[in-house]
Each structure stands twice: as C-alpha cells, then as structure tokens.
C-alpha cells in the first residue's frame, strides 16, 4: 500500500460524511464514491469534491482502492462487505456488520481466509479517557471487577411522528435500538472492563405502535407533529431494551438502551465497580472521568499529569481544548489504515468484534421473545 491509502466510499448519508472527513484529515486519497444509483453517485461526488461517482460496485472494485468504507443502510452491509472481501480489498464496514448471524459468520470466515483487514467503527474505544480507565483496570487499580452497568439513551425517536429507514426491519434489521446503540455500549463495556458477557436476559418495548412509512427525521433534525397526510404503519422494532448479563466470571452487568428518552441526545454512560475502586465514563462529557474509592472521589481531566500511555497516544490537543466523537472516529480510521499497512494496534475493533455484536443482538431478540436467559 502507498504511504497514503487510496480509499473509496459506499454510501452517501451522514455517516459516510464522517468517514470521508476522517479519511481526508489523515491524508488518504479519495478515489470515488458509490451511491444507491449512478446519478446519485455522480451528484454526491460533485458535492463532496470526489473525483469519481461510480456507476456500480463492479466499477468501484475495478479501481482497486486499498480500503473501502461501507456506510450504507444495514440491510446491504453484508452484501457489499462480502463482495469486497472476496475481491481481496480491505474494508471498513458499519455496524451491525450484518442483519443475520449467518451473514456475520460468513464475513468473519471470509476475512480470515482471504487475509483481509475488516474493521468496524466501535469508535467509543478511541476516547482518550476510555483508554485511561482500561489501562487502570488492567493495572489492578480497581481490584476485582464486581459490577458493570450503564445505559445508552437518545431521544431522536421520541415523537410518534418521527421515522427513518432504521425503523423498518427490512432496511434496518430485526433489532433497532439495541442493534444501533446497545451494541456500542456492550462493545465498550467488555473492552474496558475485561469482562466477557456469557448469557443474558432481555426485555424490549415499542413506545409508539405506529410511525410514518417514510422518513421524517434524522439525528439533529426537527420533526413536524401531527402530519395528517403521512401514512402510518405498524412498528416492529424496539424503542427500548433492558438487558441483564452474567459474565464468564459470574459477574452481573446491566444496561438500559433507549431512543425515546427526552433530553438525552447521545448519553452513553459506563460504570465499572471493583473491590478497590470505581470508574465512570460519560460520552456526553468525554473530557473528564469520575474515579471513586471508599473514602474519596475525583474528576480526572483529559491530559492531566500522569496520563496512562494509552490515553496519551490519543490526546491530539492540550488539556482544556476539548476532543470529542469526531476525534475518536478519526483515531479509529487511523488505526485501521495502520493495520492495512501491517501494523495492527491494540484495541482495534475488527470483524470478529462485529460478529460478537451480531451474536449479542441475536441473543437479545431471542430472550425478549422467550422471556428466558439465553447463552451468547
């Protein structure tokens, strides 16, 4: 691979824009973009100042980019990723990597057989203070982990008039809230705590039984209420999931996942409690972490003296100059490009982590349907 990778994008929505900004900030050469139709490819290529709008997937593969970023609706992740892996092209595939467990298992198997780097954007791993907590846990600062808990709350589907392709199980898959944000929480919880979830018990609920058939909202977009012209259809994917886990060490863990919690925009909260100390990461306040002991608690700021090396590696600006999600996203893409060059860094989320998340989704849906504990 050249010093700066040649990359292509599949998808033209909000998350594709995030991938593009990260790639450009790292100096990658953008070869082209593939949209849902040739005319869409051409339009977005002009708008985003990309050289080529591909007519189809075959044209993209013929270009032989070093890395392709798959940023499409969930139903097509596995289709595109499989074609790229079979072609021997390194791939970044958005989560969930597939809407069925069989497809996710196939992707992981193909990636191993074809020696292709396939990564998945579990980017919350890349907040510097997440790495600080993890390093302190590995060093034994918190003692034996006794409890892992938290939540991931949003409100962008609070209105009954809000709708998006994600609500439709044909486009988004059989799970919505848990597949979309619950898997982020689970990935972060296992990564930071070192605990592996072994089995789970889940309940899910649908807050609004009907929503508009066609999209009316996206993250940060206003939703008009009472649209009498809209056609409303039944909702089959969950707004809320509450999940209890048992880990391989018989440690309890629990999370609350919601896309209908008023005022919560993107509140991922993770707490790990050990026999000697506790730690909290709040994604909406990523410049500090809370550290607790029996007789004291402190707020630790990013970049303060004594930072663990893994925190320092991701500190891009001095303390007091806030870093956030876009910085974490860029750090993930940077580590992906390192792996493509043969230098695989610690903590890089790969297709195996994507497969793990699909197994969790499968178990949550099974448990919610049966009201029984399910092994993962």
The 10s digit of each residue's pLDDT in 126-147 is 999 999 999 999 999 999 999 9
217 confidence band (pLDDT: 50, 70, 90): low
Across the range 259-288, mean pLDDT stands at: 98
Q: Quick: pLDDT tens for 323-338.
A: 999 999 999 999 999 9
What are the residue ranges of helices labelled H in the chain? Answer: 14-25, 38-47, 57-63, 77-86, 101-114, 128-138, 169-172, 177, 183-193, 309-314, 325-340, 351-370
Quote the pLDDT of residue 222: 53
What is the average pLDDT score of the chain?
Answer: 95
223 confidence band (pLDDT: 50, 70, 90): low
Quote the pLDDT of residue 305: 78
Quote the pLDDT of residue 63: 96
Quote the pLDDT of residue 230: 80
Across the range 349-371, mean pLDDT stands at: 98
| CATH tag for 6-123 (out of 3.30.420.40, 3.40.50.720, 2.60.40.1930, 3.40.50.620) | 3.40.50.720
Quote the pLDDT of residue 4: 85
Across the range 2-23, mean pLDDT stands at: 93
Q: Which class for 359: exposed (0-12), middle (13-18), buried (19 or more C-beta within 10 A)?
A: middle
Quote the pLDDT of residue 215: 86
Quote the pLDDT of residue 226: 52
Write the DSSP symbol of residue 174.
Answer: S
CATH 3.30.365.10 fits 125-319+351-375, yes or no: no
Q: Which residue has the tokens 């909000």?
A: 14
Considering all CA atoms of the chain, what is the largest pairwise distance in Å, rounded to the nearest integer? 64
218 confidence band (pLDDT: 50, 70, 90): low
Quote the pLDDT of residue 129: 98
Ordered by start, the domain boundaries in the chain are 6-123, 125-319+351-375
Lowest mean pLDDT of 177-191, 215-229, 290-304, name the range: 215-229
* Prediction pTM value: 0.95
CA-to-CA distance for 89 and 189, rounded, in angstroms?
30
Percent of the chain with pLDDT over 70: 96
pLDDT at 350 over 60: yes
β-bridge mates for residue 7, sequence order: 30, 67
Q: Which of helix, strand or coil describes residue 291? A: strand
Across the range 75-80, mean pLDDT stands at: 98
Q: Quick: pLDDT tens for 140-199.
A: 999 999 999 999 999 999 999 999 999 999 999 999 999 999 999 999 999 999 999 999
| Strand 252-258 versus strand 145-153 pairing type | parallel
Quote the pLDDT of residue 306: 86
Q: Quick: pLDDT tens for 14-66.
A: 999 999 999 999 999 999 999 999 999 999 999 999 999 999 999 999 999 99
Element (H, E) at 233: strand 232-234
């Amino acid at each position: 691979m050249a010093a700066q990778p040649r990359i292509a994008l599949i998808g033209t929505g909000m998350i594709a824009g995030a991938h593009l900004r990260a790639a450009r900030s790292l100096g990658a050469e953008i070869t082209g973009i593939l949209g849902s139709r040739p005319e869409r490819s051409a339009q977005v290529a002009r708008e985003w100042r990309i050289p080529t709008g591909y007519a189809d997937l075959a044209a993209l593969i013929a270009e032989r980019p070093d890395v392709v970023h798959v940023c499409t609706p969930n139903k097509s992740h596995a289709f595109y990723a499989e074609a790229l892996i079979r072609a021997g092209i390194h791939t970044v595939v958005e989560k969930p990597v597939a809407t069925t467990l069989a497809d996710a298992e196939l992707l992981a198997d193909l990636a191993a057989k074809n020696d292709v780097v396939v990564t998945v954007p579990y980017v919350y791993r890349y907040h510097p203070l997440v790495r600080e907590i993890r390093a302190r846990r590995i060093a034994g600062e918190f003692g034996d982990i006794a409890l892992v808990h938290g939540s991931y709350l949003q409100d962008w589907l609070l209105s009954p008039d809000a709708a998006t392709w994600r609500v439709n199980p044909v486009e988004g898959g059989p799970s919505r809230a848990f597949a979309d944000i619950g898997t982020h929480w689970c990935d972060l919880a296992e990564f930071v705590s070192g605990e592996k979830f072994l089995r789970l018990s889940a309940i899910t609920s649908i807050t609004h039984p009907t929503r508009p058939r066609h999209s009316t909202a996206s993250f940060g977009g206003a939703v008009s209420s009472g649209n009498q012209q809209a056609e409303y259809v039944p909702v089959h994917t969950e707004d809320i999931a509450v999940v209890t886990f048992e880990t391989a060490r018989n440690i309890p863990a629990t999370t609350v996942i919601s896309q209908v919690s008023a005022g919560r925009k993107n509140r991922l909260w993770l707490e790990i409690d050990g026999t000697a100390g506790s730690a909290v990461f709040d994604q909406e306040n990523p410049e500090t972490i809370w550290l607790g002991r029996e007789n004291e608690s402190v707020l630790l700021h990013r970049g303060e003296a004594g930072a663990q090396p893994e925190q320092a590696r991701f500190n891009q600006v001095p303390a007091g100059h806030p870093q956030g999600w876009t910085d974490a996203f860029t750090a993930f893409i940077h580590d992906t490009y390192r792996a493509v060059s043969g230098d695989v860094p610690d903590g890089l989320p790969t297709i195996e982590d994507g497969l793990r998340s699909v197994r969790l989704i499968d178990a949550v849906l099974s448990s919610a349907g049966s009201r029984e504990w399910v092994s993962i």
